[in-house]
Amino acid sequence: MDEELFDVVDEHDEIIDQQPRSIVHAQNLRHRAAHVLVFNEAGHAFLQLRSQTKDNHPGVWDNACSGH
């Protein structure tokens, strides 16, 4: 299976390149992502503990969900 391609964007969110996910993360290239924060009625955020097998920030607390 081919590696997922991410759009690389400039500071104005204009697409300037496409690179594989591993390159984008390894070189800290600017790319689009979405993050969802979920709160209960008391205003507490729901978090999840990332798996130790994740390639990026393993074993840390994270938002409810996110994606590219």
Q: pLDDT tens digit string along 7-66?
A: 999 999 999 999 999 999 999 999 999 999 999 999 999 999 999 998 888 999 999 888
pLDDT in the model for residue 27: 97
Q: Exposed, middle or buried by CB within 10 Å (0-12, 13-18, 19+), for 6? A: buried
pLDDT in the model for residue 1: 64
